[in-house]
């Protein structure tokens, strides 16, 4: 089992050349393992399997793919499966990756759905679920803090962040409306300056 | 009462909203699945979302439960495809284009500009959820404790969600 809390790119793994040919079945299997074991967040597990164990991508590519995954709509887990699958084997690789990634969690949650219907009203369930939901709120908040430290480069970014929260929660804007209006303002604020091109993120 | 077309429409739409994480779509998901289509109640939505945090893989697999309740096995499969299909396709197309845009100066601007907005969407989703999940002193304490532990120690978050269940059992079980 991998070190679950390890951050990507602690020690740089650099593969000289990608494997000549990887079958869609192998891609499916690797992502099936990630999909079945990645408790508590997929990123460390992705890196462990794809960079360290199978050496399908190196660390530089991994970080790049992760930043693309984060900028695009869609979950990191499935976007990474698409990007890595695409790199290794085009369309069939992407499909194999996404299927493997989703299958274990989907089957598990299907079982949860049945169980909840049968026993969701049991006092034991409601008591435990109250605690679980509260812990999940704390978990999301910690993600917000972690991402803010990593991704926010300018003090003014916190104004855009607050504006987004107010737009959705107070003004009850739809998410796309908030995304487009605040997003465009924020992108214009970060318009390409000459000096910034020199200091590109690694 | 065939819910399949509605499931496809709702989850394909929610799919596009998951910028920066699944939580970004949560406020809209609450409106559409609870208020509009009444596939489940708000407490149920919070419960299955939270239980979903313990499952491995993409952390929005709870959508399978909504699909199942609204339309059985077919509903679950259709929901899964509608939710992950559009963004997977988009990622596939962008993956190829984005590499070519490496030298495009606005690429960095877009990444820097979208970062605070996507974190804001995450936080907005969190507040929507907190309205239903934080109902008193005990739940507030569990949330704050989880936050502080995660900020301080490198620990698997799934374990803390399990710990939340244990604390919940101890504090809310009727005597």
- B128 with B151, same domain: the answer is no
Q: Does A180 touch chain B (CB under 8 A)?
A: no
CA angle A44, A46, A52 (to 5 degrees): 90
Which residues in chain A are contacts of B28 at CB distance < 8 A? 174-175
- B94 with B127, same domain: the answer is yes
Q: Which of A110-114, B4-8, B110-114 has the lowest average pLDDT?
A: B110-114
**The pLDDT of residue A25:** 96
Q: Which residue has the higher pLDDT, A185 or A20?
A: A185
Rounded Cα gap, residues B132 and B41, in angstroms:
11
Q: Which of A13-27, A109-123, A127-141, B156-170 has the lowest average pLDDT?
A: A13-27
Which residues in chain B are contacts of A202 at CB distance < 8 A? none
Q: Does A60 touch chain B (CB under 8 A)?
A: no
Find, in chain B, the residue whose alpha carbon is nearest to that of A184: B113
- B124 with B50, same domain: the answer is yes
Average pLDDT, chain A: 83
Find, in chain B, the residue whose alpha carbon is nearest to that of A86: B92
Closest CA to A70 of A173, A154, A150, A162: A150
Rounded Cα gap, residues A173 and B38, in angstroms:
21
Work out the number of other CB atoms within 10 angstroms of the CB of residue B95.
Answer: 21
CA angle A109, B53, A40 (to 5 degrees): 120
pTM of the model: 0.81
B101: DSSP letter: T
Q: Which domain holds residue B155?
A: 134-175
- B23 with B13, same domain: the answer is yes
For the segment B108-156, what is each residue's pLDDT rounded down to a tens digit? Answer: 888 788 888 888 988 998 998 899 899 999 999 999 999 999 999 988 8
Q: Does A23 touch chain B (CB under 8 A)?
A: no
Determine the 3-state secondary structure of B19 from DSSP: strand
| ipTM computed for the complex | 0.84
Rounded Cα gap, residues A88 and A189, in angstroms:
37
- B84 with B115, same domain: the answer is yes
- B98 with B148, same domain: the answer is no
Which residues in chain B are contacts of A114 at CB distance < 8 A? 68
Residues within 8 A of B (CB atoms), A 140-169 only: 140-145, 147-148, 151-154, 157-165, 167-169
Residues within 8 A of A (CB atoms), B 144-173 only: 144-147, 150-151, 154-161, 163-169, 171-173
**Inter-chain CB proximity B166 and A5 less than 8 Å:** no
Determine the 3-state secondary structure of A10 from DSSP: coil
Q: How far is A2 from chain B (nearest CA, A)?
A: 12
Rounded average pLDDT over A133-146: 89
Q: How far is A48 from chain B (nearest CA, A)?
A: 14
Residue with tokens 């969701």, as numbered in its chain: A120
Q: What's the token pair of residue A123? A: 């006092």
**The pLDDT of residue B173:** 84
- B126 with B141, same domain: the answer is no
Give the nearest partner residue to A175 out of B27, B106, B146, using CB atoms: B27
With a pLDDT cut of 90, the percent of chain B lying above it is 61
Rounded Cα gap, residues A3 and A46, in angstroms:
12
Residue B66 CA: distances (Å) to CA of A133, B52, B84, B151: 17, 12, 15, 32
- B32 with B112, same domain: the answer is yes
Q: Which of B11-15, B90-94, B126-130, B153-157 has the lowest average pLDDT?
A: B153-157
- B37 with B54, same domain: the answer is yes
Q: How far is B82 from chain A (nearest CA, A)?
A: 12
**Inter-chain CB proximity B174 and A78 less than 8 Å:** no
Domain boundaries, chain A: 1-119
Residue A162 CA: distances (Å) to CA of A124, B97, B163: 38, 31, 31
Rounded Cα gap, residues B126 and B136, in angstroms:
17
Q: Write the CB contacts of B139 (distance below 8 Å, at least 6 apart in sequence).
A: A130, A131, A133, A134, B133
Determine the 3-state secondary structure of B55 from DSSP: coil
**The pLDDT of residue B89:** 95
Determine the 3-state secondary structure of B153 from DSSP: coil
> pLDDT band at residue A69, thresholds of 50, 70 and 90?
confident
Residues within 8 A of A (CB atoms), B 83-112 only: 84, 87-88, 90-92, 94-96, 98, 105-106, 108-112
Residue A19 CA: distances (Å) to CA of A23, A50, A89, B92: 11, 12, 11, 21
Helices (H), A120-174: 123-151, 157-169
**Domain total of chain B:** 2
**The pLDDT of residue A149:** 84
Find, in chain A, the residue whose alpha carbon is nearest to that of B116: A161
- B150 with B175, same domain: the answer is yes
- B79 with B148, same domain: the answer is no
Determine the 3-state secondary structure of A17 from DSSP: coil
Q: Which helix (H) or strand (E) holds B74?
A: helix B63-100
- B142 with B122, same domain: the answer is no
Q: How far is B2 from chain A (nearest CA, A)?
A: 19
Helices (H), A23-174: 24-37, 43-47, 59-71, 76-119, 123-151, 157-169
């Amino acid at each position: 089992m991998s070190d679950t809390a390890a951050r990507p790119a602690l020690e740089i793994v650099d593969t000289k050349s990608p494997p000549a040919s990887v079958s869609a079945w192998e891609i499916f299997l690797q992502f099936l393992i990630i999909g079945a074991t990645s408790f508590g967040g997929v990123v460390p597990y992705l890196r462990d399997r794809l960079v360290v164990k199978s050496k399908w991508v190196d660390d530089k590519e991994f970080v790049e793919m992760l930043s693309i995954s984060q900028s695009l709509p869609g979950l990191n887990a499935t976007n990474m499966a698409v990007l890595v699958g695409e790199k290794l084997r085009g369309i069939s690789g992407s499909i194999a990756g996404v299927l493997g990634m989703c299958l274990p969690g989907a089957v598990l949650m299907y079982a949860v759905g049945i169980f909840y219907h049968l026993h969701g009203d049991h006092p034991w369930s409601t008591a435990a679920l109250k605690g679980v939901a509260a812990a999940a709120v704390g978990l999301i908040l910690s993600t917000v803090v972690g991402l803010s430290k990593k991704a926010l480069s300018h003090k003014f970014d916190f104004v855009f962040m607050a504006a987004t929260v107010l737009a959705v929660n107070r003004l009850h804007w739809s998410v796309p409306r908030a995304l487009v209006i605040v997003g465009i303002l924020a992108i214009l604020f970060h318009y390409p300056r000459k000096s910034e091109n020199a200091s590109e993120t690694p | 009462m065939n819910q399949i077309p509605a499931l496809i429409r709702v989850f394909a739409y929610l799919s596009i909203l998951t910028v920066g994480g699944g939580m970004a779509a949560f406020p809209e998901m609450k409106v559409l699945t609870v208020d509009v289509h009444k596939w489940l109640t708000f407490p149920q939505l919070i419960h299955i979302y939270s239980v979903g945090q313990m499952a491995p893989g993409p952390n929005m697999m709870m959508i399978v439960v909504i699909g199942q309740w609204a339309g059985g096995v077919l509903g679950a499969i259709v929901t899964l495809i509608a939710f992950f299909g559009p963004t997977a396709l988009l990622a596939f197309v962008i993956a190829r284009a984005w590499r070519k845009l490496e030298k495009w100066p606005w690429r960095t601007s877009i990444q820097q500009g979208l970062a605070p907005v996507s974190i804001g969407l995450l936080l907005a989703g969190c507040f929507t959820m907190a309205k239903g999940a934080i109902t008193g002193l005990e739940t507030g304490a569990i949330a704050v404790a989880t936050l502080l532990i995660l900020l301080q120690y490198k620990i698997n978050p799934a374990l803390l969600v399990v710990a939340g269940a244990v604390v919940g059992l101890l504090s809310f079980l009727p005597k």
